[in-house]
Amino acid sequence: MIKSFRVRLTVWYVGCFAVLFALLTAGLYGVLSRALTSRLDESLLSQAATASALFQDEMGETQNDPAKSAEEAVSNMRLRAGKVAVLDGARALSASGPFDAAAAVRLSGGAKESAYAIPGARAAVYRFNSNGRVYVAVAVEPLDAAIRRAMFLALPLILAIAGAGGYWFATRGMAPLDAMAAQARRITGSNLEARLQIGDAAEELTALAESFNELLGRLDQSFGNMRRFVADASHELRTPVAVIRGEADVTLAKERSAAEYKESLAIILDESRRLSRLVDDLLNLARADAGRVKLQAQEFYWNDLLGECCRSVQSLAVAREIELECRCAADTPFWGDEELLRRMTLNLLDNAIRYTPPGGKVLAELEADIEGVRVRISDTGIGIGPEAAAHVFERFFRADKARSRGNGGFGLGLAIVKWIAESHRGAVELASQPGAGSTFTVTLPR
């Protein structure tokens, strides 16, 4: 199997060309040779007749010397391509070249005047009487051997030219591919912003380059996201680790009372909890990215789940003097990963409470119809501006960094909400008025 596309293309091209050329030549040869043969036969017959007439004239002049007459007659013929001979029966009297005239005459089958085929040539005989003896004039001419030779010689020559031409065209046509390959080889993780340039190459190659460039674009974006994710994650991890280390350093610098140690350990415990929450979130998102999270789907009642979530954030709402209302009356059975959906709901409720000033209200509602379930968490809190709204579902995005960090957030909560909703083929939407509150609606199809 030939590996090189260029060579394969050339072989196909030359093969097709050879078949076409052979067919055309054979057809042309058939038509031409028929026409040529009949013209040749006419000319040979007239040559044989002329030779006989000349011979008979010479017989008169040479007092019936057949050998001399034959020689004169033959030499008067002055033939270029063919040969002519005069025979006395089967014996050649004279011939215009070295050829087996007797053999040629034998093939005539005894006809008085006829044109026929002999190996590689056409021949014509003319039998005549002179002084009571039967003489034979024979004219022979090679049958379009020149044409045949030209065709046989031309075939390899033409194929060689076609092959070289085909290879050249294939090489020329593939040049942009080589250029693309060379450019692609230079693209690595550190210059994914580079794109293939192929100038005004053929349409198909432009399409290939465009697809490749689009792929690079997507990779570049994913790589960028991943780099940002790693950078942001490291940045976020630094703060709790620094707090824990600083606290331990300071505490261990001198002898402390038991109460001081206790206070210190409490700070460390608090930061460790934050840290492990962050690590959990990161791990979940990383697993989700790798497509390794399998939904543990089962049937459950959404109204029960929402009720439980509201109860578990109730104390936080009370602590922040926020009224929390949960409207989920009717039984709403649903098929999905209950744990993940609980996590999603808690994230939304937690945000609603954290970003709502004391005295505000948080409402959790559940709507269901044949198509699916809608979970709506609205608050009367600080709201989100249109600019921030476009980014809230991105990882590590925080509209107000100082306030969010103070609240213990890392900017991963809504990214996780979005992932959970989408992993259930659903979506999450935000409607918000800065200063008036926000409403997050999760739509989940059945």
Rounded-to-integer distance, Cα 62 and Cα 69, Å: 7
Q: Which of 49/431 has CB closer to ligand ADP?
A: 431
Q: How far is CA 65 from CA 23, 92, 95, 126, 212, in A?
A: 54, 14, 16, 20, 94
Query: Taking CB positions, which residue lies at the least distance from ligand ADP?
Result: 409
Q: How far is the CB of 400 from ligand ADP (least distance, A)?
A: 5
Q: How far is the CB of 396 from ligand ADP (least distance, A)?
A: 8
Q: How far is the CB of 266 from ligand ADP (least distance, A)?
A: 22
Q: How far is the CB of 441 from ligand ADP (least distance, A)?
A: 12
Q: How far is the CB of 432 from ligand ADP (least distance, A)?
A: 7
Q: What is the DSSP string of 364-418?
A: EEEEE-SSEEEEEEEE-SS---HHHHTTTTSTT--SSHHHHHHTT--S-HHHHHH
Q: Which of 106/327 has CB closer to ligand ADP?
A: 327
Coil, helix or strand at residue 92: strand
Rounded-to-integer distance, Cα 355 and Cα 279, Å: 23
Q: Which of 334/410 has CB closer to ligand ADP?
A: 410
3-class SS string, 309-347 = HHHHHHHHHHHCCCEEEEECCCCCEEEEEHHHHHHHHHH
Q: Which of 94/378 has CB closer to ligand ADP?
A: 378
Q: How far is the CB of 297 from ligand ADP (least distance, A)?
A: 25
Q: Which of 124/322 has CB closer to ligand ADP?
A: 322
Q: Which of 135/355 has CB closer to ligand ADP?
A: 355
Q: Where along the sequence are the contacts to ligand ADP (CB under 6 A)?
A: 351-352, 355, 379, 381-384, 392, 397-400, 404, 409-415, 438
Q: How far is the CB of 229 from ligand ADP (least distance, A)?
A: 14
Contacts of 98 (CB under 8 A, 6+ apart): none
Q: How far is the CB of 409 from ligand ADP (least distance, A)?
A: 2
Alpha helices in 119-144 (DSSP H): none
Q: Which of 53/363 has CB closer to ligand ADP?
A: 363
Give me the sheet containing 113-118, strands edge to edge.
91-95, 83-88, 133-142, 121-130, 113-118
Rg (CA), the chain: 51
Alpha helices in 94-144 (DSSP H): 101-106
User: Any idea how long the chain is?
Assistant: 446
Q: Which of 235/245 has CB closer to ligand ADP?
A: 235
* Secondary element (H or E) of residue 402: helix 401-406
Rounded-to-integer distance, Cα 229 and Cα 396, Å: 8
Rounded-to-integer distance, Cα 366 and Cα 364, Å: 7
Q: How far is the CB of 197 from ligand ADP (least distance, A)?
A: 40
Q: Which of 76/407 has CB closer to ligand ADP?
A: 407
Give the pair of three-digit tokens for residue 140: 């022979």
Per DSSP bridges, beta strands 361-368 and 372-379 are antiparallel
